Structures are given as C-alpha cells and as structure tokens.
Chain A
Amino acid sequence: MATSGGTSSKNRRGVLRLVGYVAAAMMVGAGSTACMSPGSGDAGGSTLVFAEGTGPSSIDPLGPGITGPGLRAWRQMYDTLVWFEDGKFVPQLATSWKTVDPLTWEFTLRENVKFHNGEPFDANAVKFTMDRILDPAQNATQRSRFGTVDSVEVVDATTVRIHTKKPSPVLLLGLTQAFIVPPKHTAENGGKAPDEPVGTGPFKFVSWRQGEKISFTANEDYWGGAPKVQNLEMRVIPDDATRLDSFMAGEVDINMNLPISTIDTVKRHEEASVMHEFSRAALLLEFDTTHGGPMADPLVRQALNYAVDKEALIATILNDTQRPLDGQVESAASLGYNKSLSAYPYDPEKAKQLLAQAGYPNGFETVINGPIGKYPADRDLVIAIAAQLEKVGVRATPNVTDFGSFIQAVGATKAGPMFLIGWYDFGDPALSTSWFTSESTLGQYYADPTYDSLIAQASSTLDVEKRQRLYERASQHMHDEAMALFLTQPAMYYGVSKQVTGFVPRDDELITLQDVAVDGEAN
C-alpha cells in the first residue's frame, strides 16, 4: 500500500508538471501574438489575409467538384488563356485570338512566360491542359464547359488552334476557367495533381491545409507585374460570427460574404468599410410545368408573380441588400438582358382575377420547397412568400431542408410544384437559360418548344448581335409565359479594412488579389 501510494503521488506530480508546461507554453504563445500586428503572417513583408466561409475541396485546379471557392483560390496562382473583365474578354496567356472559320479558333500565346518552377509556358502546356480537362478519367469540373471541343492543335510554340464540332460562342468563357498547368511537373507526379502545385499566376503556392487556409507568396517575376503584397493568405472561417470577429480584430483584411445582419455593424467600424457588387445571378421560384396541376397553366404562374410583393421582401427580410429582377433571369450587365421588360408589379387583385380566369376562384393548396442556409435568408423568404400567396387564396406550405437533400430532389424532378433556387450566369446566358429548357440536366420542369428553339439557336451562333437578339426574345417569352416567379438579384457584401486599397468586387465573385495593397502596417 505504502509503495504504490508513493508511485501514485509521483504520477500525480508528473501530471501537474505537464499541465504546468502546457500553461507556460500557452503563455509564451500568447505573448508572441500580442506583439504581432494584426493581419500579419509569419513570413516577412506585407500580408493580405482574405477570409470566406468555405474553401476548395481539392488541390487539383482541374479536378471534380470545383465551385466558387476553388475558382477563387486557384485563380490567384494560375493564369488562363483569356480572362473576363468589365463585360469583355481580355488577354491573359493568349495575347490575341481569332476565328479562322466557325469551327476553328486560333490563339497567339504570350512569350517568355515561365511556370513558378522555371518550366517554360508554350503551346504544349495549353494542349496538355486542354487534353487533361477533356480526359473523362480526370473528371474535371471544367469539362462540361468544353462539350463542343473536338481537338487542340499545336501549330507552333506560340500558336494553338482549338477545333470545335459546332460553332461555340461560349468557348472563350469556358477558357476563363481552364487553369494552365505545367506538363512536365504534372507528369513527374504520375499525372496526379502535384502536392506542390505550380502555375504561371501572380502568386506562388506555399501551403494548403484543408478547411483551414491556403498560403501564397508573391511571384516577383509575374508577366503582369509583381503583386502589391508579399504574402497572401486565403483563410476558411466557417462560422459567420467568428469570421466577423477576426475581421474586427484586424486579423483578416477582406471578409467575404458578410451576413445581412452584420452589414451595419461593419459600416460603423472606424477601420473598416463595406463594399458590394450585385451578382450575375437570379433568385427565383421555378415551377414544375410538366406534370399537370395549376403550375402547368401560364395564367396561374402570372397570378403568382402578381401576388408576391418583391419590394416588401427586400425591404423587410433582406434589409435592402438586394434588388428586384426586371421580370427576367438576366440582369442589366448580361448578354440577353431585355431592356423593355420590367418586374411584375405587386397586384393581389389582378392575381385573384387571373386565378379565377384559370379556374381557381378559391385558390388551391401547394408546396414551396427551398434550401436552408444556401441563399441569404432563404428560409424566411420561403415562409414570407407563402404568407403573401395566402392573401390571394393560394395556401402554400413552406418546406425547407438542407441544401444537399434539396438539390437532390431538384435533380430528381421531385422539387415541384415550385421551389426557390438561384442561378448564376457567369458572364454568358448560356448556363442560366439552360435550366429552363427541356435539355436541363437538373430535373425536367420545362418543355416549351418556343423557348427550347430560341436557346438552341442562340447557343450555336457566333454572331454576338444575333445572340443578343435571340436571348432577348427568349427573355421576353419567359416573362410572358411566367416560366418562373422572378424574385431578386442578389449581391455579395465584403468587409474591407481601411488599410486595403485596390480591391474591386466582381459581379461573378471571382475576385483577383494581385492589385490589392495593404498599407499602414510596419510589418
């Protein structure tokens, strides 16, 4: 008993000592950050810290499942042949391009560009990248953008031709997401995405920790000029409140996706400002028009458009952070925006009249499906819309679930009779209009021959003027037939530190950070 008692007290002292060490280590750690100025990293030079709620799902810039966060992150270290700015395509690794014939595009490449590991950029790198994207085994997200591409031909070291099976007006747009990767470096890794990826972009890769942060350092030799900061950190802080706290404490310089309720708090902060840009996106209710019921009748769909007070939703639920759609999916900056259209006014009397005309004088029962936590205040919107429909006799049950289950139901054509969804246009109406054709890859909710034919024509002509007219007619038809309940054009809000200059929000949310500077920090 006595001996074992001695052992036990020795153990206990051991534990206590360990706790002491940990406490001491924590104090030292705390002390060292206290002297660190906010937002600064461990490496020397100025550091820009960008934060959002999610990060890339994989280190492969040409892998599967690449969404906004991935496109945003990898854009900082990779270049593409062309880029999209202020509504037009601008040169990046291609200095010029032309169509030799409707099925052949020729690109002249920028000379003397090197990857971060010294590997030269040339026509072979472009062909390697495009072949990698088109290889079904690679399962690249970008592959769906190049469905019409037949082959890629190296003409000489600085000339590449892309041959398409049919005229592809959206080829250039697809190329803005085709991150050019180095052939040799990738091959050395057995063809898998390297753990130490290299690109030609303004920033060089340093490290990545899944769900935590990506660190970059400046590429001083960038062909477009060195970035304004030495280091770039793209952090993932999932909790909105904590991301805001990190921003308020000065650890984060740019805080993407401010929740509606915090915008005023940030505006009041002396060291910060709020910037925003309306997105090339449309939030709307889609109808299932192909399975009978009230939603198959255009009169009912028009009635529902008149029955919802968009302005009131924006003023009360969305704190005036969004604006109403102009009775169409496209917004003013988009090709295919129809200037002569405007939002369905709020007119409950007219709605009742149309419902009576359609044979529903006493309304009907229906369901509004929607996701939770995908769009700002999505759940509240669905509930508020249901309440507004009630006033014209349409008794709608709000049914909201997590986005995973929701999008599965949408894909399986089980989200009808109507559901809340947001569609991005990414610079061209080809994608955002595809959901309303019978060719949609996400559920079969529409089968309108007029609309189908307009979209089919528009997506196979290269003449921009002609496409504009075709998409305008498609918008008009969609408005008249009330193929959706048009709600709002969302906006993305950023908290930006006053020390940051040169940050420009983009309507496609694919911000670039090489021209952003952080001043006033003696780090």
Chain B
Amino acid sequence: MGKRTDVLSFAAKRMIRVPVVLLFVMTVVFGLVHSAGNVVDQLLPPEATAEQRAELTRQLDLDKPLWAQFGSFLARSLQGDFGFSVFYHSPATSIVLERLPASLMLAGLSIMVAIGIGIGLGILSAVRAGRFADVLINAVAVLGQSMPSFWLGQMLILVFAVKFQLLPTSGYNSLAGLVLPTLTLAAFLIPQILLLTRTAMIESLEQQYMLTAQAKGLPTRLLVFRHGLRNALNPIIASIGLQLGTLLGGAVLTESVFGWPGVGRLGVEAILHRDLPVVVATVVLLALVVMLTNLAVDLLSAAIDPRVRVS
C-alpha cells in the first residue's frame, strides 16, 4: 500500500517539473529569436514593399509590447502552432513531426545496442578486473570515446559499404541502412555505459551482501546478475537518461554523414536557412521529448530502487 502511494506522489512531483522546465525553455527560445534580428526582414523577400512589411508586422503581433508578444507566442505554441516554415512553406510543427520518427528510431536502436554491448562488456570487465580482458576492454573504450562520430561514420562507410559493399552507404530505405548509423551513434554511448557499469559493478561486488550470497553457495551467474547488477543498475539508468537528449538533438553529425532525414539535421539546416519557425519548433519539441524520457527514466529508477522514491 505504502509503496504504491510513494510511487504516485513521486511521479506527481516529477510531472509538475515538466511544464516548469518547458516554460523556461520557451522563454529562452523566445529571447534568442528576438535577439536574432528583425523577423520581418527574414521572412519577406528583399523586394517587399513597405505595406507588405507593415502587414506582416501586424500579423506577427510585432507592433504589440514584448509581454503581449510572449503571451501570444506561448498561446500559439500550446496549440502546437510554431508558425510557417520560410523554407519549406508548410507548418513548422508538421515538418518536425515528420522527421521525428527517423530520429527516434535511430536513437532508440542505438541505445538498445549500446546498453547490450556496454553493460555486457562492463560486467565482464568488472568480473575480470585487472586482468587482460579488462585492460583490453578499457583500452578500446577509451579509444572509442575519443573517436569523433563523423570520422568513425566515414570509416565504417569506407569499410562496410565501399570496400566490402555489405551495407548501403546512406539513406533511409531499408533495415540495412540502419546498421552503420546505429553503430556510429552507439559507439559514442558504449564507452560511457561500459566504464560506468564497470565501476558500479566493482563497487557492488565488494559489498558485504555479496560475500553472504557467495557463502550461501549461489552460482556465480546468479551472484553477478541478480545481486551485483541489480544494485549497480541505478547510476547506469540515470546516465542513459541524460544521454537521450544528446542522442536526439546531438546526432546532427551522424545524421548528416549518413543522409539520415532526422530532426538534428533538420534543425541545423533550418539555422542555415534562417528558418526560425522550424528552429523554434525543433528546439521546443525536442525539449519536450527529452523531458518526457527523463521523466520515464526517473520513474523507472524509482521502481527499481525504493531509495530514489524517498530521497
């Protein structure tokens, strides 16, 4: 009984944060857009007449005081209306939503692959701490962490697509097209998960209860996974949650290298095109996705470790 209300009140507390953070994000975005210069000049072609300028100024409420502009920006945004894309000539929201699945799919798959490989090797490394396997895994992890993703992506393309022609170089056509971008993104995550797992596992394996469990005569496999990993899992989950934002918005380089039609690339291209409505829609929607996944991660941590609920 008590556990259930605990979880609910914890969830409620966490959920209240979402609109607060979102309001903060929107304030920052609004401020940045306003410091980026006259929107009317950016939206209209250079040959536009003074009447056209005045007309658009009225339409965009730019003749109103700043607080009123902010109010109408908030009101419109809440209805999912971030304005009309200057470059694509359609609503900014629909353009971002159209690109979002490609990014979510890539990020989701990369996380799964990274979790599988990162935790697996992390455990191996912890169990064999100080021995050859551990040293080798650590060396590779450090190497992996210091490889920039655009370089790794290019190298993977050269080897697997150009040299051996096993996989397509780029594109969003087939499952095969997912392999290289997924590996590139995962390679960026794996070292972090791996090193964190290793540290947490070593700590967990040294605990008194492990000795007890060992004394009970539990087989090593059960010992490592049920007692060791379960207790080491929390910091790992928390760190993965934090990485999600980087994966979605920060996959720009990977998305560009592999011609992947995701939101990261969309956002950067929108900045280059001075397409402010799309920039705003990208930032706000990504912020929302990141907040919701972080909320999910918080709730998951709370479910796994009761201490989180209390603190």
Contacts and interface: CB of A to CB of B under 8 A. Distances in A.
Interface of A: 5, 8-9, 12, 15-16, 18-19, 22-23, 25-26, 28-30, 32-34, 38, 42, 57-58, 60, 63-65, 139, 209-213, 235-239, 241-243, 245-246, 248-251, 402-405, 408, 411-412, 441-443
A257 B45 CA distance: 27
Nearest to B37: A408
A104 B158 CA distance: 59
Interface string B242-273: 00000000000000111101000110010011
Given A26-B179, A209-B172, A404-B273, A16 B116 contact: yes
A192 B253 CA distance: 35
Given A211-B266, A412-B41, A64 B112 contact: no
Contacts of A63: 89
B112 A239 contact: no
B151 to A, nearest CB: 10
Interface stretch (B9-17, B74-82, B159-167, B288-296): B159-167
A65 B116 CA distance: 46
Contacts of B153: 242
B46 interface: yes
A236 B258 CA distance: 11
Contacts of B272: 402-404
Contacts, number: 147
Question: Which of A18, A242, A403 is most buried by chain B, counting CB atoms within 10 A of its CB?
Answer: A242
Contact of A19 (B89, B113, B230): B113
29 contacts: A9-B225, A18-B112, A26-B179, A26-B182, A28-B175, A30-B166, A30-B167, A32-B174, A33-B167, A33-B168, A64-B89, A65-B86, A139-B89, A209-B172, A211-B265, A211-B266, A212-B171, A212-B172, A212-B259, A212-B261, A237-B171, A239-B256, A241-B154, A242-B259, A245-B169, A251-B171, A404-B273, A408-B42, A441-B46
Chain A to chain B: the 8 pairs with minimum beta-carbon distance, closest first: A29-B175, A411-B46, A441-B47, A29-B176, A404-B274, A246-B169, A33-B176, A19-B116
Given A242-B157, A242-B259, A441-B47, 9 more contacts: A9-B225, A29-B179, A30-B166, A210-B95, A210-B99, A242-B170, A251-B169, A403-B272, A412-B46
A353 to B, nearest CB: 38
Interface in B55-101: 86-90, 95, 98-99
A405 B276 CA distance: 13
Nearest to B3: A4
Nearest to B262: A211
B273 to A, nearest CB: 6
A163 B171 CA distance: 47
Interface residues of B, number: 56
A56 B170 CA distance: 19
Contacts of A19: 112-113, 115-116
A5 B272 CA distance: 51
B41 A245 contact: no
A32 B176 contact: yes
A236 B265 CA distance: 13
A269 B157 CA distance: 17
A34 B165 contact: yes
A408 B304 contact: no
Contacts of B261: 209-212
A238 B175 contact: no
Contacts of B175: 25-26, 28-30
A30 B176 contact: yes
B216 interface: no
Contacts of A60: 89
Contacts of A28: 175
A33 B166 CA distance: 7
Contacts of B256: 238-239
Given A33-B168, A239-B257, A443 B46 contact: yes
Contact of B304 (A8, A30, A402, A403): A8
B123 to A, nearest CB: 12
A8 B115 contact: no
A34 B157 CA distance: 14
A114 B99 CA distance: 35
A212 B269 CA distance: 14
B87 A65 contact: yes
Contacts of A441: 45-47
B99 to A, nearest CB: 8
Interface in B178-208: 178-179, 182
B109 interface: yes
B226 interface: yes
Contacts of A443: 46
Nearest to A212: B261
Nearest to A26: B179
A29 B162 contact: no
Given A25-B175, A403-B272, A242 B166 contact: no
Contact of A408 (B47, B109, B265, B274): B274
Contact of B226 (A9, A23, A25, A57): A9
Nearest to A37: B165
A318 B10 CA distance: 63
B266 to A, nearest CB: 7
A9 B179 CA distance: 28
B274 A248 contact: no
Nearest to A6: B226
Contacts of A22: 109, 112-113
A28 to B, nearest CB: 7
A134 to B, nearest CB: 17
